[in-house]
């Protein structure tokens, strides 16, 4: 029984790591871009060749 719990726990950790890495690589971990768009109250942004474009701005 404990063995099954360990397997589920390991899968959960792997899933979380995958999610974090996928999300972080969205803009090559470009925090400046994220901060800038957040400051402009934009809901999303895209990044091409490290050039930032804010989307869904008020």
DSSP characters over 42-54: -SEEEEETTEEEE
What's the pLDDT at 3?
A: 84
pLDDT band at 36 (very low <50, low <70, confident <90, very high): confident
More reliable by pLDDT, 7 or 19: 7
pTM: 0.38
What residues does each domain of the chain span?
2-55
Burial class (CB in 10 A: 0-12, 13-18, 19+), 34: middle
Residue 9 tokens read as: 């726990």
């Amino acid at each position: 029984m404990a063995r099954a719990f360990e397997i589920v726990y390991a899968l959960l950790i792997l899933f979380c790591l995958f999610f974090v890495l996928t999300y972080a690589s969205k803009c090559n971990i470009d925090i400046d871009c994220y901060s800038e768009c957040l400051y402009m109250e934009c809901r999303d942004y895209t990044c091409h060749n490290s050039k930032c474009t804010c989307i869904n701005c008020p």
